[in-house]
Amino acid sequence: MNIIKELGAAKVVGITGHIRPDGDCTGSVLGLYNYLKDNAPDIDVNVYLEQPSDKLSYLNGFDAIKNVIEPDKKFDAFIVLDCSSIDRIEPFADGFKNADKTICIDHHISNDSFADVNNVIPTASSACEVLYDTFDAGKVSRNTAECIYTGIIHDTGVFKYSCTSFHTMEIAGKMMQMGIDYSDIIDNSFYKKSYVQNQILGRALLESVLFYDGKCIFSSVTRDEMDFYGVTGRELGGIIEQLRLTDGVEVAIFLYETGDNEYKVSLRSKKEIDVSRIAACFGGGGHIRAAGFNAKGTVYEIVNRIGEIIEQQYAQE
Ligand code: 5GP
Ligand code: MN
């Protein structure tokens, strides 16, 4: 796909990504925004996204992000990035559905091809990688390069997850050639933690529980704890990664409370278990080694159910 050719004569374009936007979602959305601003100046480009973390505010176009669609705004084309299903673009679904042409650029294995044109590559490390391949390489500016690099490092865990390929590194190398400050991007947008984030990470690790002969680990954070430390769910991102690194663990599970008996659940695996299949059993989705879902019930009910599915997967092997 060549994104500018795909847009044809479209003059008013909307861009969005999934709810609770992460580095890859925000990077791909703003990467496309910058690329179109630079190379298709006649297009009225509008970015709609739930407010991303301020850690990503160095990305050019961050200030142009709108959190609501203007009433009666009509789009010739609407592009969704890093999103596997239409229910994950609320509250922008109406703008998307009413557009003359819809395009999805994604890398989720669980993507259900909900747009008119779907460019979905499940083997790609990130939506940014898929997006970059829709660009003319010579037309990528430093601003766009910062966005693409950011998305790649976030979805590869700084080039270490199994989704990282030769092509991923090739694109990252090209972005480095554009003069971006790659060390700062990695430190400030990926590794940096606030003091309270470190405190709640420490607490979650302290209260983590190993089960299934040490192959699984889980931990959870309640709303009261989040209120006490003054953090939102978005700021709990690094906890699941630290749980996953535990020696001997194949599957890590992290839950944080979003309502009465309601949890956002993150899953990670190392080599054997397909966590996207577990998430799908709960109506969620994601990738083989990183997936998530929302669930009702107590922590123990949810973790027990996940444990049963893990046991089934081991039994099938
Ligand atoms: P995380 O655990 O970091 O929130 O998400 C890991 C991966 O699973 C991401 O690629 C994310 O897009 C996907 N994911 C997380 N939660 C959900 C969900 O509720 N539904 C779907 N379809 N995918 C999810
Ligand atoms: Mn992604």
Q: Give the Cβ contact number of residue 215 at 10 Å.
A: 18
With a 6 Å cutoff on the Cβ, whether 295 touches ligand 1 is no
Q: Give distance in angstroms: CA of 166 to centre of ligand 1.
A: 25
Q: Give distance in angstroms: CA of 315 to centre of ligand 2.
A: 30
With a 6 Å cutoff on the Cβ, whether 189 touches ligand 1 is no
With a 6 Å cutoff on the Cβ, whether 34 touches ligand 1 is no
Confidence of residue 317 (pLDDT cuts 50, 70, 90): confident
Q: Give distance in angstroms: CA of 83 to centre of ligand 1.
A: 9
With a 6 Å cutoff on the Cβ, whether 292 touches ligand 1 is yes
With a 6 Å cutoff on the Cβ, whether 290 touches ligand 1 is yes
Rounded mean pLDDT, 6-31: 97
pLDDT at 7: 98
**Ligand number with the minimum distance to the CA of 20:** 1
Confidence of residue 1 (pLDDT cuts 50, 70, 90): very high
* 266 CA closest ligand 1 atom index: 2
- Among 16, 18, 113, say which to mutate for ligand 1: greatest number of ligand atoms within 8 Å of CB: 18
φ and ψ at residue 74, rounded to 5 degrees: -115, 135
Taking only the tens place, the pLDDT of each residue in 239-279 is: 999 999 999 999 999 999 999 999 999 999 999 999 999 99
**Ligand number with the minimum distance to the CA of 107:** 2
With a 6 Å cutoff on the Cβ, whether 31 touches ligand 1 is no
> d(Cα 40, Cα 151) in Å, to the nearest integer?
22
pLDDT at 39: 98
pLDDT at 264: 98
pLDDT at 206: 98
Taking only the tens place, the pLDDT of each residue in 284-294 is: 999 899 999 99
**Ligand number with the minimum distance to the CA of 291:** 1
Residue 194's SS3 state is: coil
Instruction: Indicate whether 225 pLDDT > 90.
Output: yes
Confidence of residue 234 (pLDDT cuts 50, 70, 90): confident
Rounded mean pLDDT, 46-50: 98
More confident residue, 119 or 317: 119
Mean pLDDT taken over the chain: 96
50 in Cβ contact with 67 (< 8 Å): yes
pLDDT at 273: 97
Give the residue, by CA position, lying nearest to ligand 1 atom 8. 291
Rounded mean pLDDT, 128-136: 98
**Ligand number with the minimum distance to the CA of 28:** 2
78 in Cβ contact with 48 (< 8 Å): no
Q: Give distance in angstroms: CA of 24 to centre of ligand 1.
A: 12
243 in Cβ contact with 234 (< 8 Å): no
Contacts of 256 (CB under 8 A, 6+ apart): 220, 221, 222, 226, 233, 236, 263, 264
Rama region for 232: left / alpha / beta (φ>0; ψ in -120 to 50; rest): beta
- Among 20, 82, 88, say which to mutate for ligand 1: greatest number of ligand atoms within 8 Å of CB: 88
Q: Give distance in angstroms: CA of 256 to centre of ligand 2.
A: 21
pLDDT at 56: 97
Rounded mean pLDDT, 74-102: 96
0.85 surpassed by pTM: yes
pLDDT at 237: 85
pLDDT at 188: 94
pLDDT at 304: 98
With a 6 Å cutoff on the Cβ, whether 275 touches ligand 1 is no
